[in-house]
Amino acid sequence: MEYKKIHSCLNNCILYRNEFEDLRRCSMCDLSRYKVKVGQKEYNDEVTKEGPLAKVVWYLSIISRLKCLFATTYDAKIHRWHVDDRKIDGLRRLIYKEFLEFVKESRNLRLGLVTNGMNPFGNLSSNHSSLPILLMIYNLPPVLCMERKYMMLSMMIFGPKQPGNDIDVYLNPLIEDLKLLWDE
């Protein structure tokens, strides 16, 4: 699977991509893109333009993953389970009330976003964290929704601290891919 390493501000202000790609310092908080060396107050941008990055995000494109899923006849068929085989219980779900146009097309995917921070070293006082962001496909039969094959790791955020409420900054690449899928 293809992936992209995206540099991020340590304070979760911006991702260094698109219009911010060539910046050496965050345009919001003026923090350096690189780690500060021990004994220095600040990373010296004049001495070098490269160095260890303060924070990195790994983005795995969902477009290539979906192409693989729909390449087989079996997988393409079970993604229509919600239309072809789901037991109709007479209850109207929210998606059927709010997004009627979306529901009319039986091939549209219903995705759920799941995230849970973890500390890879098992020590609560550790200064490093990992935050996986997964996409779950809800078109499938309930027994298949939680199988590893149908869970998509979309993003992995590594750094000294988790983004917390600033997670929307990190979701921009995923949102761009989803818009691209919707439009095309």
> How far is the C-alpha of 171 from the C-alpha of 168, rounded, in Å?
5
- Residue 159: count other Cβ atoms within 10 Å of its Cβ: 20
Give the pLDDT band of residue 48 (cuts 50, 70, 90): very low
Domain that holds residue 36: 3-183
Residue 47 has pLDDT above 50, yes or no: no
Instruction: For residue 132, give the nearest of 162, 98, 109, 110 by alpha carbon.
Output: 162
Of the listed ranges 45-59, 116-130, 155-169, the one predicted with least confidence: 116-130
Both tokens of 110, joined, read: 């219903």
Give the pLDDT band of residue 173 (cuts 50, 70, 90): very high
Q: What is the pTM of this model?
A: 0.75
The total domain count for the chain is 1
Residue 101 has pLDDT above 80, yes or no: no
